A and B are shown apart, each in its own frame.
Chain A
Amino acid sequence: MISLVDAQGYAKIIMTVVLVIILYGYILHLYRSEKKGERDYEKYGKMALDDDITSVPVEKNPNLPQKKEGEK
């Protein structure tokens, strides 16, 4: 029988490996979807530069109540 402390250690190693795989998967996902032209992540950098209240959003929030748009 392995002790509880050892079991925790093994559980942690397994979890780490799984998380590493997920993280690498995410890197692949980012670069792949940009290469295929599905997303352009770099355009989000503009959100900080062009940030007046009257600026056009990089991507409009579709869930915004209609009234608010009228107000603007």
Chain B
Amino acid sequence: MQSNAALEYDYTVAKLFTYTTILFGILGMTVGVLIAAQLAFPELNYLIGEYGTFSRLRPIHTDTVIFGFMLSGIWASYYYLSQRVLKVSMAESKFLMFIGKLHFWLYFVGALVAVISLLLGISSSKEYAEFEWPIDIVIVLVWVLWGVSMFGLIGIRREKSLYISMWYFVATFLGVAMLYLFNNMAIPTYFASGGIGSIMNSVSMYSGTNDALVQWWYGHNAVAFVFTVPIIAMIYYFLPKESGQAIYSYKLSLLSFWGLMFVYLWAGSHHLIYSTVPDWMQTMGSIFSIILILPSWGSAINMLLTMKGEWNQLTENPIIKLLVLASTFYMLSTIEGPIQSIKSVNAIAHFTDWIPGHVHDGVLGWVGFMTFAGLLHMAPRMFKREIYSKKLIELQFWLQTTGIVLYFTSMWIAGITQGMMWRAVDEYGNLMYSFIDTVAALHPYWVIRTLAGVLFLSGVFIFAYNMIKTITSSKELAQEPKNQSPMAA
């Protein structure tokens, strides 16, 4: 490198992950809308033979939005902000540049193969861990590459201390590595059966209750270490930077970090209340879930207080609007989850529509808004152009907020109705309703949920259009914006 050339941050890898965030977001949420429609109108199951059935498409939805949209957004943010808070450019190390690009390409190819395998019905049937073992091996490699990339960059940093976002990224790396390895221990049925089974299809190394426990220890902590921890990493950077306000209390951010790490790992058994796991474990799952409110709200309140004295920005800057609503939805879902973990509430909530309702106020409001805000903040800096349209962000914001509210309110009503109908008995103790009675009662809410999905998805398309226009044809910027992202009206 020329020694007199000014050193700049290198966003090559962050840009690549930005593109896949948009791509997988559209793909995963289009499938989400389709399966929502299928629940309301079952005829839609038979559009394209076996490939279009709910059972095939549901894991494609969940895995594409989680490991496609969300993870791409996390990595786009990581490759962008890690350089900045460590004050070192990836361009300073050819090795790290190479690893970063390899990380992306292996991930991208792996993700495509994974989607195709699910479409073909190749699945280990464990929720969020459906991929069969060859894909698991690719995932492990991708993860290791991220680790090399991250610790490599940390190794050559100029800033001595790690900014709080980096703590959360490191925790994501370690947490997922441990969870994923343990939960995906499996043996191809070919070997397990002495030659009759298949090489591709595998069975878990755990059985019965143990398998359920390991699965939900994983499943819930996937929520922790993919849906929460790295998203907090993002908001701790993007909100202060976009608003120009330092984190309200850095100490509180450290405390919430350790609180979250300590409590989250023990809450998973709330997925198994009234099952065959030991009673104390169920009770502890409930208790730890309640305690989880503290570190969760610790982070969220810290974010809201960061805006102290600057609330006018909420009306002036739609990116701030997305960020503030993201922390608000985070508060909503982290109070709702603990409530659902209380044994008596869980008796009504479990297996009902209230659960996907809860999931989606978190993923749409918290993860979705945070991801959109992050990408919008990065775009002018990565592509050196102003954001194409402020009006379009506003439009997206309102369409999606309406979508989210319709989604969770319809699922609340549907879920509680469902739970009550299932347990209703007449004076002789006979069940009052059969299953199909509940289906008929819930139909209107499933239609509303589909509509909610259409609204949210329209917002995603508007966002994609806005991003593409920003990248290709928006006004060029002479210098990097300091805080508020520049945008054309």
Residues of A within 8 A of B (CB): 5-6, 8-9, 12, 19, 23, 26-27, 30-31, 34, 41-49, 51-55, 57-62, 64, 68, 71-72
Interface residues on B, range: 35 or more
Closest chain A CB from B279 CB (angstroms): 9
Neighbouring B residues of A44 by C-beta, 8 Å: 161, 163-164, 250
- Give chain B residues whose Cβ lies under 8 Å from the Cβ of A45: 240, 246-247, 250
The smallest beta-carbon distance between A14 and chain B, in angstroms, is: 13
Q: At the interface, yes or no: B87 with Cβ under 8 Å from chain A?
A: yes
Would you list 21 pairs from A and B whose C-beta atoms are within 8 A, ordered by A residue?
Answer: A12-B280, A27-B255, A30-B251, A34-B251, A42-B246, A45-B240, A45-B247, A46-B246, A47-B163, A48-B84, A48-B241, A49-B246, A51-B85, A51-B87, A52-B84, A54-B7, A57-B158, A58-B159, A58-B161, A64-B156, A64-B157
| A4 (CB) vs chain B CBs: closest residue | B278
For residue B10, give the distance in angstroms from its CB to the closest CB of chain A.
10
Q: Which residues of B contact A51 (CB under 8 A)?
A: 84-85, 87, 241
Instruction: Given the known inter-chain contacts A44-B161, A61-B157, A64-B156, please indicate yes or no for A53 contacting B7, CB distance below 8 A.
Output: yes
What residue in chain A is nearest B246 (Cβ atoms)? A45
Most buried by A among B158, B244, B255: B158
Of the listed residues A5, A41, A44, A58, the one surrounded by the most CB atoms of chain B closer than 10 A to its CB is A44
Nearest A residue to B480, CB-CB: A52
B254 close to A (CB within 8 Å): yes
If A5-B278, A48-B247 touch, whether A60 touches B258 (CB-CB below 8 Å) is: no
- List, in ascending order, chain B residues with CB within 8 A of A41's CB: 250-251, 254
B434 on interface, CB distance cutoff 8 Å: no
Distance in angstroms between the alpha carbons of A53 and B157 in the assembled complex: 11
Secondary structure at chain A's binding surface: helix, strand, loop or mixed? helix
Q: Which residues of chain B come closer than 8 Å to A52, judged between CB atoms?
A: 84, 480
For residue B51, CB closer than 8 A to chain A, the reply is: no
Which of chain A's residues have a CB closer than 8 A to the CB of B85? 47-48, 51
Chain A residues whose CB sits within 8 angstroms of the CB of B483 once the complex forms: 49
C-alpha spacing A53/B87, complex, angstroms? 5
Q: Is B308 an interface residue (CB 8 A)?
A: no
Nearest CB of chain A from residue B121's CB, rounded to whole Å: 38
Which residues B151-182 have CB closer than 8 A to chain A? Answer: 156-161, 163-165
Most buried by B among A54, A55, A64: A64
B249 at the interface (CB under 8 A from A): yes
Smallest beta-carbon distance B483→chain A, Å: 8
- B247/A57 in contact, CB under 8 A: no
Closest CB in chain A relative to B240 CB, distance in Å: 5
Q: A57 with B160: in contact, given A23-B262, A48-B165, A48-B240 (CB under 8 Å)?
A: yes
- Interface positions, chain B 60-100, Cβ under 8 Å from A, are 83-85, 87-89, 92
A53, chain B: closest CB distance, angstroms? 5
Least CB distance from B218 to A in Å reads: 19
Chain B min CB distance to A12 (Å): 7
Q: Which of B458-489 contact A (CB under 8 A)?
A: 480, 483
- Report A64 CB to chain B, min CB distance, Å: 6
Q: Would you give the shortest CB distance from A54 to chain B, in whole angstroms?
A: 8
A26 close to B158 (CB less than 8 A): no
The answer to whether B284 touches A26, judged by C-beta atoms less than 8 angstroms apart, is no
* Minimal beta-carbon separation of B355 from chain A (angstroms): 26
Which chain A residues lie closer than 8 Å to B157 at the CB level?
61, 64
Q: How far is the CB of B195 from chain A (nearest CB, A)?
A: 36
Q: Quick check: B240 and A49 within 8 Å, CB to CB?
A: yes
Whether B250 contacts A61 by the Cβ 8 Å rule is no
Interface residue? B312 (CB, 8 A): no
- Chain B residues contacting A12 (CB-CB under 8 Å) are 280, 284
Interface string of B267-291 (1 = CB under 8 A from A): 0000000000010110010000000
The complex places the Cα of A5 from the Cα of B84 at a distance, in Å, of 49
For B250, what are the chain A residues with a Cβ–Cβ distance below 8 Å?
Answer: 41-45
Q: Is the CB of A68 within 8 A of B156?
A: yes
A23 to chain B, nearest CB (A): 6
State whether A30 touches B3 (Cβ < 8 A): no
- Complex interface: chain A residues within 8 A of B17 (CB): none
* B8 contacts partner chain A, Cβ-Cβ < 8 Å: yes
Provide the residues of chain A in CB contact with B244, threshold 8 Å. 49
- Measured in the bound complex, the distance between the Cα atoms of B159 and A43 in whole Å is 13
Q: How far is the CA of A41 from the CA of B284 in the complex (A)?
A: 34
Q: Is residue B236 contacting chain A, with contact meaning CB distance below 8 A?
A: yes
The answer to whether B249 touches A64, judged by C-beta atoms less than 8 angstroms apart, is no
Residue of A nearest to B1 (CB): A71
CA distance A43 to B7 in the complex (A): 25
| Complex interface: chain A residues within 8 A of B240 (CB) | 45, 48-49
Given contacts A51-B84, A60-B160, whether A42 and B278 have CB atoms under 8 Å apart is no
